[in-house]
Amino acid sequence: MEENMKKFHENEAKNCFNNTWVYLEKKNRSFEDDLTMIHLAHASRYHWGVIGQPLHHQRGEWLISKVYYTLNKGEQALYHAEACYKICNQHNIMDFDIAFAYEALANAYKLLNDVENVSLYMEKAFACLAQIEDPEDRAYTESELKKSGQ
């Protein structure tokens, strides 16, 4: 692939990822906003799929799961949380990424009223904190996991 196309996909992936967060954080989203947020998350993952590494793919699946979780769509959230987790496993992606993969699974199961799996995956997420080397990353991950656990 030529360098211009790689740069195009990278820029689009980043822009779509960042704009997804604009919608995730927006209060009083409309139905159209929700659709835009879904499309942005999927578009980011698509562009990373063209030029990215497994870490980008994993984070893209995590973001899509987060969007569906936010929209109270359990089956879709679980589908992408499972994809996120599988990518972590296949490529030995650890650190905070595996903790957030477990969190995504727990959140999806929360929507599906599967209390046993919520507990299992939140325990696994918290257990990952010990292996996160960077203290700032560890503190941030712990604070996010605590929010999810509420």
> Tens-of-pLDDT digits for all 150 residues of the chain?
899 999 999 999 999 999 999 999 999 999 999 999 999 999 999 999 999 999 999 999 999 999 999 999 999 999 999 999 999 999 999 999 999 999 999 999 999 999 999 999 999 999 999 999 999 999 999 999 999 877
Query: Residue 112 is which amino acid?
Result: L
Q: Would you list the domain boundaries of the chain?
A: 1-52, 75-150
pLDDT, residue 1, reads: 80
pTM flag (> 0.85): yes
What are the angstrom distances between the C-alpha of 29 and each of 37, 56, 94? 10, 27, 33
pLDDT, residue 150, reads: 72
Alpha helix stretches (DSSP H) within the chain: 3-25, 31-51, 54-70, 74-90, 95-111, 115-127, 135-149
pLDDT, residue 17, reads: 98
2 C-beta neighbours (distance < 10 Å), count: 7
18 C-beta neighbours (distance < 10 Å), count: 11
Conformation bin of residue 95: beta by default, left when phi > 0, alpha when psi is -120 to 50: left
